[in-house]
Amino acid sequence: MKTLENSPTVSRRSRLLAGVAAAAAILALSAGSASAAANCIKGDRKAPYTVGWANIYSVPTWMKQTEGTIAAEVEELKTAGLVKDLMITDAQGNAQTQIQHIQSMIDADVDAIVVIAGSSNALDRVISDACDKGIAVVNFDSLVNTDKVTAKINTDSSEWGAGAAKWLADQLGGKGKIIVMNGPAGISVSDDRRKGAQPVLDANPGLEIITETNTEYNSAPAQEAMTSLLFANPEIDGVLSLGGAISAGSVMAFDRQGREQVPITGENARQFLELWKEKGLKGWATMQPNWLGALAVYTAVQALEGKDVPAFVKVPLPVIDDSTIDTYLARADQFPADGYIYSDYDKALFDKLLAQ
């Protein structure tokens, strides 16, 4: 009886409560999305998402490894029900083709685009078009100029160059003849690393740059370039090598010529790290971690899920020196012979980087 009597009031009250709660929830949600939604996100896209990976060039080993971390991340997000599909394109080094690919991704209405830019400017317009369509655009490694992206993820190339130059200056006690080996000309990354090194070189007037080279980030062209430099320069005290497998090529050139190895900087190329150990080099290396790709996918999905993500995620440069090289070489067999041994990563690290 009582319950029957009471039931209408109860239900009315509960309905009222529910209504208030719903209204509050909607308020909270809209307020939340207004303040927290990341750039480009409109909130109209629902999981599971389709992710487009617009690669500039898939052939180099670094790229293959990066694609590996992206695919692994997508698999993980698939099991979580957040991603349903990964579309991969390869512009074969042609920035113009990359524009065409991103345009096709917009046409196919993907939910997220992760991209390594083939040119720092060329993609600006097509990427802002994607952003206008509410597509989460996460750009990593080679960055675009436009800020109309959800997030940019990178290490600091200028710090890269400065760190390398500083280590070399310390090794040589601030004086000596050095050779600078750069990546390809006209590429922002190689230009930024070189620029970052300049203030340190200026501060050490005792360091004399005998000559500079530009080669691809591969060991073979670097070895060739260094071989001819060795013929021309009987006295070299150090090599400031700014990336990729260039250092490995340089070390091999010294070795072939029977010249005594000199202090050298470099990147986490397995070939270089192994030579470093084998020849007992005085070395220093940092890296552009391949898992930036995985982090980019993770960031895009987080943003689509309504989480706030920083517009720029600065990834600290992991440094390899004599004290840490063994931890890297211990994992060497998990990486391709001409690949890069990147530092470990997990979801906790990603969350920490995104919480900056």
Partner 1 sequence: MSAVPSSGWLYGAIQRGRNRGLGGLYLVVAAFLVLYAVLFPGILSVSGFSKFTQNWFPLALVTMAQALLMLNGGITLAIGPLVSLGAVIAATTMGGALGVPGGILAVALAGLAIGAVTGAIVAHLRLPAIIVTLAGSFIITGVALILLPRPGGFIPDWLSTTLAGHTPVAFLLLVAILLAWKAFLATPLGIGIYAAGDNPIGAFRSGVPVERVKIVAFALSGLLAALAGLFVAAQTGSGDPVIGTPFTLNSIAAAVLGGVGFLGGKGTMRGAICGSLLLSVMINVMFFLGFPPVAQYVAQGLIIVGAVAVPELLKQWRARR
Residues lying near partner 1 in the complex (CB under 8 A) are found at 55, 58, 87-90, 92-97, 99-101, 103-105, 107-108, 119-125, 145, 185-188, 191
Minimum CB–partner distance for residue 95 and partner 1 (Å): 5
Q: Which is nearer to partner 1, 121 or 324 (CB)?
A: 121
- What six digits make up the tokens of 118? 């083939």
Choose between 89 and 343: whose C-beta lies nearer to partner 1.
Answer: 89
Helices (H) and strands (E) in the chain, counts: 12, 11
CB 243, CB 183: distance < 8 Å: yes
Residue 7 CB neighbours (<10 A): 10
Nearer CB in complex with partner 1: 39/100: 100
**Alpha-carbon torsion, ordered 103, 107, 108, 109, to 10 deg:** 100
User: Closer CB to partner 1, residue 55 or residue 218?
Assistant: 55
Q: Which residues contact 336 (CB under 8 A, 6 or more apart)?
A: 61, 64, 65, 270
Instruction: Pull the structure tokens for residue 75.
Output: 């698999």
Shortest spacing between CB 71 and partner 1, in angstroms: 11
Least spacing, CB of residue 279 vs partner 1, in Å: 35
Nearer CB in complex with partner 1: 119/241: 119
Between 126 and 162, name the residue whose CB sits nearer to partner 1: 126
Q: How far is the CB of 171 from partner 1 (least distance, A)?
A: 29
Phi, psi of 256 (to 5 degrees): -60, -35
Residue 229 contacts residue 235 (beta carbons within 8 Å): no
Tell me 269's DSSP state.
Answer: B
C-alpha Rg value of the chain to the nearest Å: 25
- Least distance from C-beta 134 to partner 1, angstroms? 16
| Cβ closest to partner 1, residue 115 vs residue 230 | 115
Shortest gap between Cβ of 180 and partner 1 (angstroms)?
16
CB of 105 to partner 1, least distance (A): 8
Is 234 buried (19+), middle (13-18) or exposed (0-12) by CB count in 10 A?
A: exposed
Alpha helices in the chain (DSSP H): 2-36, 61-79, 95-107, 124-132, 157-171, 188-203, 219-232, 246-256, 270-279, 292-304, 325-329, 347-354
